[in-house]
Amino acid sequence: MYGVGILKGLGITLKHFVDTYVDDFKWGIRRYTSDEGFTARQGLETEGLFTVQYPEEKIAVPERFRFVPFLVVNDQDHATEPDADWCTSCGICAKVCPPQCIWIIRSTDPDTGRPVPQPKDFFIDIDICMNCGFCAEFCPFDAIKMDHDYELSDYDRTSTHIYNHAKLAKPLSYWQMIAPSRAEQERLSREADEAAKAARKRK
């Protein structure tokens, strides 16, 4: 009958509204003041409506969450090449970036003037970046990844929102921390590629 769907929808809204007060009554002030209460409000079993008290409270982002990209570099305690770039300045990310917000300055050998496969500088205009993740998907060297840091607002875009290499570079251990399963998958895939290459050479 016409209107039944609307009434059902309103009933569900009313149920959630009432459940909010029932849950508040069960938990008391702990629902809003304790870590346990926050976890319960964010959990699948939560009842009713809830408000996250941002910025004091933040919802944990899923591993596949993506915001402005960063560049992977070796950790400082790397055995042979601490802080070394994974980026070879191949330029693929800049080519596929839909709003064209990546600029790369390639390094050159000071003696020969020939290109060296590493960036001299690397810029991303983070206000133009639309967080699509294409750069990370297409990079053949796992050298650019999508970050989880979304608190980037500032008052002056020109001096703070055009990220250079110094601002973009983050160690591999950071990527392993924010995306452990993807970092592990990529490590296994790199190892498999290396093994296949070595096997081809032996033939």
**Residues 93 and 139 sit within 8 Å (Cβ to Cβ):** yes
Tokens of 1: 């009958």
Task: State yes or no: residue 115 binds ligand SF4 (CB under 6 A).
Answer: no
**Residues 137 and 65 sit within 8 Å (Cβ to Cβ):** no
Q: Are strands 169-171 and 69-73 parallel, antiparallel or unpaired?
A: parallel
Q: Which is nearer to ligand SF4, 28 or 98 (CB)?
A: 98
The DSSP bridge partners found for residue 124 are 102, 163
Stretch that binds ligand SF4, among 126-134, 149-157, 161-169, 194-202 (CB under 6 A): 126-134
Task: State yes or no: residue 37 binds ligand SF4 (CB under 6 A).
Answer: no
Taking CB under 6 A as the criterion, the residue among 31, 70, 89, 145 binding ligand SF4 is 89
Task: State yes or no: residue 143 binds ligand SF4 (CB under 6 A).
Answer: yes
Binding mask 69-88 for ligand SF4 (x = CB under 6 A): x-----------------xx
Q: Which of 74, 72, 69, 184 is nearest to 136 (CA)?
A: 69
Residue with the two structure tokens 């070595």 = 198
Stretch that binds ligand SF4, among 17-25, 36-44, 98-106, 159-167 (CB under 6 A): 98-106
The CA dihedral of 76, 77, 82, 87, to the nearest 10 degrees, is: -70
Residues forming contacts to ligand SF4 in the complex (CB under 6 A) are: 69, 87-93, 97-99, 101-102, 104, 124, 129-135, 139, 141, 143-144
